[in-house]
C-alpha cells in the first residue's frame, strides 16, 4: 500500500472496550510514527453504537467512503447484539469493502504466560476467508415458507423419526466458491513466499463436507500447482519423492482436516507456518491459537482485500469491561503494527513491537496478563500505553 509520509489514517474506535483501547493504541502508533520521522493524521470514523448516536445508522456511508478513499484504516471491535435484527457489522464492513482475507498472525511475546509448554514455538499466520461460508448469513428461521419448501427433502435425507419430524427445523446454506477460495489461497501463498515461510496448510473439513470444504482443498491445491511453477510444491508430490524432503527454497502446500489441526496446533505447533482456511474454521482456529499466546488481549489481525485494508484485533467489544480503563490494548496496537508493515513502515513496526515486548516482559501489564503471572504491576489501559510510549 502506498501512502504519503504524513498519511490520513481512518480509525473506528468501536464499541465496548474500543473506547478504552483505541485511544491507547492511537498514542502508541502515533509515537512510533513520530520516532521514525513521520506523522499520522487520524481521521475518526463512526460505526456501531457511536454511529447510531450520530447518524442513526450502524454503518454510515461516510465511514465506508472514507475507508475506500484512504485505502488503509484501523478499527476497534463492534458489538453484534444477539437477535437485534441485523447481522454482524464486522461482517458487513468486510463484505462492503471486499476485504476478503482476514490475516491473524499468532506469535509469542516474551513474558506472556501460556497454557502450553513451548509457546515460543508458536509462529503461525492464519489466513481466514472473510466473505463466504456460513458467514454469508444465508439461513432461514424455523416455520418460514423457505424452510417449509425444503423441509420434506431435509427430513428424508436425514431420515428423521416421527418425534423429530414434529419439531422445528432451521436451515442454513454454506457457499464456498472457486473464486473466493483461490484468491484467499493466493494471498496466503504470496505471503509465505515473501516472508520465507516453509509451508502453507489448507485447513478444511472436506472429509464430511465434500463439495464445499473438500472443494476448498482441491481449488487450493490447483492454485499451488498451476500458478507458481517451481517455487511451490504440493505435499503429495513430496511423497512420490524418494526421501520426502522439499528442495531448499521451495514452499510446501499441504492440507489438514480442521479438527485434527486444532489439536496439532497445541501439540505440534512448530510444524505449522501459514494456514489458509474457510471462514468458520479460521474463526475457531485463530481464537484458539490466540489462547496459546496469552489470550485475546494480545491477538492482532487485519482484513485485507486488493489494494485496501482495515487492521482489527481478533477480540470483540467485551462489554463487561467497557469504559473501565482496564482492557489490554496490545491486540489493537499490534494490529496497527500490521498496518505499518503493510504500508512499508517496517522501522515503525519494529519500534512498536520492541516497546510492547519490553513493557510486557518487565511485567508491567494489564489485568488479563497480570492475573496469570507472579508479581508484576497491574496497570490501567492508559498507564500501560504510557509505559510503552516511554
Ligand atoms: P470478546 O472478544 O468481546 O470477549 C471475550 C472475553 O475475552 C472478554 O470477556 C474478556 O475476558 C476477554 N477479552 C477480550 N478482549 C480483551 C482485551 N482487549 N483485554 C482483556 N481481555 C479481553 O467476545 P464476546 O464476549 O464473545 O463478544 C462480545 C461482542 O463483541 C459481541 O457482540 C460480538 O459479536 C462482538 N465481536 C466483535 C468482533 C469484532 O469487532 N471484530 C469480534 C468478536 C466479537
Whose Cα sits closest to atom 44 in ligand 1? Answer: 316
On the question of pLDDT at 82 being above 70, the answer is no
Whose Cα sits closest to atom 34 in ligand 1? Answer: 80
Return the bridge partners of 45, or none: 12
Mean pLDDT computed over 101-114: 92
Cα separation, 369 vs 318, whole angstroms: 16
Kindly indicate the confidence band of residue 85, based on its pLDDT and cuts at 50, 70 and 90: low
Ligand 1 centroid–CA 318 distance in Å is 4
Cα separation, 276 vs 204, whole angstroms: 9
Is the C-alpha dihedral spanning 280, 61, 30, 338 positive or negative?
A: positive
Of the candidates 253, 307, 262, the residue with the CA atom closest to the CA atom of residue 280: 262
Ligand 1 centroid–CA 340 distance in Å is 24
- Given the DSSP bridges, would you call strands 302-304 and 309-311 parallel, antiparallel or unpaired? antiparallel
Kindly indicate the confidence band of residue 270, based on its pLDDT and cuts at 50, 70 and 90: confident
Is the ipTM above a cut-off of 0.85?
A: yes
- Test site for ligand 1: of 297, 299, 318, most ligand atoms within 8 A of the Cβ: 318
Kindly indicate the confidence band of residue 246, based on its pLDDT and cuts at 50, 70 and 90: confident
- Asked if 135 is an active-site residue, the reply is yes
- Binding-site residues for Mg(2+), please? 283
pLDDT single digits (tens) 141-196: 988 999 888 888 888 888 876 666 677 888 999 999 999 999 999 999 999 999 99
Mean pLDDT computed over 123-132: 95
Triad 351, 346, 383: Cα angle to 5°: 25
Of the candidates 210, 207, 211, the residue with the CA atom closest to the CA atom of residue 258: 207
- Pocket lining: 20 vs ligand 1, CB cutoff 6 Å: no
Of the candidates 366, 292, 306, the residue with the CA atom closest to the CA atom of residue 119: 292
Q: Per-residue DSSP letters for 147-182?
A: HHHHHHHHHHHHT--HHHHHS---EE-----HHHHH
- Binding-site residues, please? 79, 88, 90, 94, 104, 128, 283, 328, 367, 371
Cα separation, 2 vs 344, whole angstroms: 8
H or E, element range at 388 = helix 381-389
Average model confidence (pLDDT) for the chain?
92
- Binding-site residues for NADP(+), please? 79, 328, 367, 371
Whose Cα sits closest to atom 25 in ligand 1? Answer: 318
Ligand 1 centroid–CA 21 distance in Å is 12
Say if CB 124 and CB 265 are below 8 A apart.
yes
pTM of the model: 0.91
- Asked if 15 is an active-site residue, the reply is no
pLDDT single digits (tens) 296-312: 999 999 999 999 999 99
Ligand 1 centroid–CA 315 distance in Å is 4
All residues at 6 or more sequence positions from 164 whose CB lies less than 8 Å from its CB, including other chains? none
Cα separation, 116 vs 328, whole angstroms: 21
pLDDT at 78: 95
- Pocket lining: 368 vs ligand 1, CB cutoff 6 Å: yes
pLDDT single digits (tens) 5-59: 789 999 999 999 999 999 999 999 999 999 999 999 999 999 999 999 999 999 9
Q: Which of 75, 95, 174, 205 is catalytic?
A: 205
Burial of 389: CB neighbours in 10 Å, binned 0-12, 13-18, 19+? middle
- Pocket lining: 325 vs ligand 1, CB cutoff 6 Å: no
Q: Could you identify the atom of ligand 1 that is nearest to the CA of residue 21? A: 18
pLDDT at 164: 62
Q: How many angstroms separate the Cα of 287 from the Cα of each of 184, 283, 370?
A: 19, 6, 20
On the question of pLDDT at 273 being above 60, the answer is yes
Strands (E) located in the chain: 8-12, 41-45, 72-75, 101-107, 123-129, 139-140, 171-172, 199-204, 232-234, 251-257, 274-277, 302-304, 309-311, 364-365, 377-378
- Pocket lining: 359 vs ligand 1, CB cutoff 6 Å: no
pLDDT at 124: 95
- Pocket lining: 102 vs ligand 1, CB cutoff 6 Å: no
Other Cβ atoms within 10 Å of 242 Cβ, number: 5
Amino acid at each position: 500500500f502506498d501512502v504519503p509520509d504524513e498519511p490520513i489514517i481512518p480509525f473506528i474506535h468501536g464499541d465496548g472496550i474500543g473506547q478504552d483501547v483505541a485511544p491507547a493504541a492511537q498514542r502508541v502508533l502515533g509515537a512510533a510514527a513520530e520516532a521514525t520521522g513521520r506523522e499520522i493524521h487520524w481521521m475518526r470514523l463512526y460505526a456501531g453504537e457511536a454511529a447510531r448516536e450520530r447518524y442513526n445508522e450502524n454503518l454510515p456511508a461516510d465511514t465506508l467512503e472514507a475507508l475506500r478513499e484512504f485505502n488503509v484504516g484501523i478499527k476497534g471491535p463492534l458489538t453484534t447484539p444477539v437477535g437485534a435484527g441485523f447481522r454482524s457489522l464486522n461482517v458487513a464492513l468486510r463484505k462492503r469493502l471486499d476485504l476478503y482475507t482476514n490475516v491473524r498472525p499468532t506469535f509469542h511475546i516474551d513474558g506472556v504466560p501460556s497454557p502450553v509448554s513451548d509457546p515460543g514455538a508458536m509462529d503461525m499466520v492464519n489466513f481466514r476467508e472473510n466473505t463466504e461460508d456460513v458467514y454469508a448469513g444465508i439461513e432461514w428461521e424455523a416455520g418460514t415458507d423457505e424452510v417449509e419448501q425444503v423441509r420434506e427433502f431435509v427430513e428424508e435425507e436425514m431420515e428423521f423419526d416421527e418425534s423429530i419430524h414434529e419439531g422445528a427445523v432451521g436451515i442454513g446454506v454454506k457457499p464456498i466458491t472457486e473464486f473466493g477460495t483461490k484468491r484467499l489461497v493466493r494471498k496466503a501463498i504470496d505471503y509465505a513466499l515473501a516472508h520465507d515461510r516453509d509451508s502453507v496448510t489448507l485447513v478444511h473439513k472436506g472429509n464430511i463436507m465434500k463439495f464445499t470444504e473438500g472443494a476448498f482443498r482441491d481449488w487450493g491445491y490447483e492454485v499451488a500447482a498451476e500458478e507458481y511453477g517451481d517455487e511451490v510444491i504440493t505435499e503429495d508430490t513430496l511423497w512420490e519423492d524418494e526421501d520426502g524432503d522439499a528442495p531448499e527454497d521451495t514452499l510446501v502446500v499441504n492440507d489438514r482436516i480442521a479438527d485434527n489441526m486444532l489439536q496439532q496446533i497445541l501439540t505440534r505447533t512448530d510444524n505449522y507456518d501459514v494456514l489458509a482456511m474457510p471462514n468458520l474454521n479460521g474463526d475457531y482456529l485463530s481464537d484458539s491459537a490466540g489462547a496459546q499466546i496469552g489470550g485475546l488481549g494480545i491477538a492482532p489481525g487485519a482484513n485485507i482485500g486488493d489494494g485496501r485494508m482495515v487492521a482489527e484485533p481478533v477480540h470483540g467489544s467485551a462489554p463487561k469491561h467497557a469504559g473501565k480503563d482496564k482492557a489490554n490494548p496490545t491486540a489493537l496496537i499490534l494490529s496497527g503494527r500490521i498496518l505499518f508493515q503493510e504500508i512499508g513502515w517496517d522501522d515503525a513496526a519494529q519500534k512498536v513491537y520492541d516497546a510492547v515486548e519490553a513493557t510486557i516482559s518487565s511485567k508491567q501489564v494489564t489485568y488479563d496478563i497480570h492475573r496469570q503471572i507472579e508479581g508484576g504491576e497491574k496497570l490501567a489501559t492508559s498507564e500501560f500505553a504510557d509505559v510503552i510510549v516511554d
